């Protein structure tokens, strides 16, 4: 929270001049006044209650410290129009918004007894239907940061521009600034919450501690000759939390090659070996068996899609070819509704859609061992 701090004073009492309070403290600290939320988008003709607290130089809450509330209205707005168009605030910090979206001003909290003032930025917005946060989930190491952003939409689906979300956390796994910058503090999982008006958006955040172990997935696995498989490395902390990490990759055994991202391409000879990931002095290994390609049966299919013309009409008799490193793995043709089905092993493949009189289209697909099914792999062919 934003706090405006002021110099303190000394006070003497009695004949002996005894010092009874010093806001400065032994290290030069000063008393503080904070206001929550310190920024907010408020829906027109709605209310939002602001809270303020005073803490002494040692950070101890001063209970029942008198607070007065006021507004700094938008620039150029006539004083007599402030209550109706921007809003007003009562003696308890309850702000009632006016009727004009887009107006921006400030809520002011003053602690007159301690000579302190704090402000909160306020913007009026249209009624909010939903709030979305990006990224929707994040994994963060202790001490590292990630910046979340929020978007708000009204009931028509139109985005509300330049919002001032109020950021909160569901637990104490970290801290978050008014700008949405989250810093991981304690291992665990929590929620980042962005509130705009009455609507809230949530994002999942996992904080991981010092990495104790490195693991590679999938492990063990088999890869068909000539096909590709994506391997991934994860760091595991003492609490069992996992975070994707960037590792260096190596192949042990004459089974194929692996690139800097962990994408393994099997050779053309069956055999056994290992994929090795290294990071920060830690190492993990995955057992890999390169096997012959099994001829795909006609059913059941694990990859399906449709081919159509630019106007949406289905195209029949389109040749669909699946290739791995230039080697044809499976082929089929579309039916009268433009639909096709294929069975493919796990790996990365190039799909080509060809038909006389049309330009060839292609795309790359990956079937993981954990998910050997893809649907909706569609093509649009243009006349060529």
| CATH code for position 80 | 2.60.40.60
| Domain assignment of residue 240, given as a range | 213-291
pLDDT for 240: 83
**Omega cis (within 30) before 221:** no
pLDDT for 211: 84
pLDDT per residue as tens digits for the range 34-80: 999 999 999 999 999 999 999 998 999 999 899 999 999 999 999 99
Specify if 5 maps to a domain. no
pLDDT for 7: 34
pLDDT for 22: 40
Say whether pTM exceeds 0.75: no
Helices (H), 243-338: none
pLDDT for 21: 38
Q: List, in order, residues 6 or more apart from 216 with CB less than 8 Å away.
A: 231, 232, 233, 234, 275, 277, 284, 285, 286
pLDDT for 12: 32
pLDDT for 212: 87
Question: Is the domain of 105 the same as that of 137?
Answer: no
Question: Is the domain of 250 the same as that of 284?
Answer: yes
pLDDT for 9: 32
pLDDT per residue as tens digits for the range 153-189: 999 999 999 999 999 999 889 999 999 999 999 888 8
Q: List, in order, residues 6 or more apart from 232 with CB less than 8 Å away.
A: 216, 217, 244, 262
- Which residues in the chain land under pLDDT 50? 1-26, 298
CATH number, residue 224: 2.60.40.10
Specify if 1 maps to a domain. no
Burial 191-221 (b: 16+ CB within 10 A, else e): bbbbbbbebbbbbebbbbbebeebbbbbeeb
pLDDT for 299: 52
pLDDT for 271: 95
Comparing C-alpha atoms, which of 131, 128, 139 is closest to residue 168? 131
Question: Is the domain of 251 the same as that of 329?
Answer: no
pLDDT for 13: 30
Question: Is the domain of 99 the same as that of 139?
Answer: no
Q: CA-CA distance, 316 to 334, in Å (whole number)?
A: 5
Burial 263-296 (b: 16+ CB within 10 A, else e): ebbbbeeeeebbbbbeeeebebbbebebbebeeb
Split into its structural domains, the chain has a count of 4
Question: Is the domain of 315 the same as that of 251?
Answer: no
CATH number, residue 309: 2.60.40.1120
Reduce the DSSP state of residue 81 to 3 states and report it: helix
pLDDT for 296: 52
């009189």: which residue's tokens? Answer: 357
| DSSP β-bridge partners for residue 233 | 216
Question: Is the domain of 14 the same as that of 86?
Answer: yes
Contact (Cβ atoms closer than 8 angstroms) between residue 54 and residue 22? no
Question: Is the domain of 121 the same as that of 16?
Answer: yes
């Amino acid at each position: 929270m934003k706090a405006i701090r002021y110099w303190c004073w000394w006070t003497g009492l009695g004949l002996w001049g005894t010092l009874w309070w010093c806001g400065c403290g032994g290290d030069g600290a000063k008393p503080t006044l904070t206001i929550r939320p310190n920024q907010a988008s408020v829906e027109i003709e709605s209310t939002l209650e602001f809270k303020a607290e005073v803490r002494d130089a040692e950070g101890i809450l001063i209970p029942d410290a008198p607070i007065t509330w006021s507004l700094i209205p938008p620039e150029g707005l006539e004083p007599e129009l402030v209550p109706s168009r921007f809003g007003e605030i009562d003696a308890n910090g309850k702000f009632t918004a006016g009727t004009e979206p887009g107006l921006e001003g400030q809520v002011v909290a003053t602690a007159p007894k301690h000579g302190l003032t704090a402000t909160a930025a306020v913007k009026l917005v249209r009624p909010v239907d939903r709030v979305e946060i990006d990224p929707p989930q994040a994994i963060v190491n202790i001490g590292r940061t990630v910046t979340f952003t929020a978007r708000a939409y009204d009931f028509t689906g139109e985005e509300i521009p330049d919002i001032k979300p109020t950021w909160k956390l569901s637990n104490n796994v970290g801290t978050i600034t008014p700008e949405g910058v989250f810093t991981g503090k304690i291992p665990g999982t929590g929620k980042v919450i962005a509130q705009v008006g009455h609507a809230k958006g949530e994002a999942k955040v996992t904080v991981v501690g010092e990495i104790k172990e490195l693991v590679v997935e999938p492990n063990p696995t088999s890869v068909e000759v000539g096909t590709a498989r994506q391997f991934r490395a994860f760091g595991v902390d003492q609490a069992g939390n996992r975070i994707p990490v960037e590792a260096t990759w190596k192949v042990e055994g004459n089974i194929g090659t692996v690139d800097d991202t962990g994408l393994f391409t099997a050779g053309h000879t069956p055999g056994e070996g290992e994929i090795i990931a290294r990071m920060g002095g830690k190492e993990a290994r995955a057992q890999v068996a390169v096997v012959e390609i099994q001829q795909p049966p006609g059913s059941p299919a694990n990859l399906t899609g449709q081919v159509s013309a630019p106007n949406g009409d289905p195209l029949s008799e389109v040749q669909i070819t699946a290739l791995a490193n230039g080697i044809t793995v499976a082929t089929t043709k579309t039916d009268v509704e433009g639909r096709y089905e294929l069975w493919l092993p796990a790996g990365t493949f190039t799909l080509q859609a060809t038909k006389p009189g049309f330009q060839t289209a292609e795309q790359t697909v990956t079937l993981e061992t954990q998910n050997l099914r893809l649907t909706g792999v569609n093509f649009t062919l243009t006349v060529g």
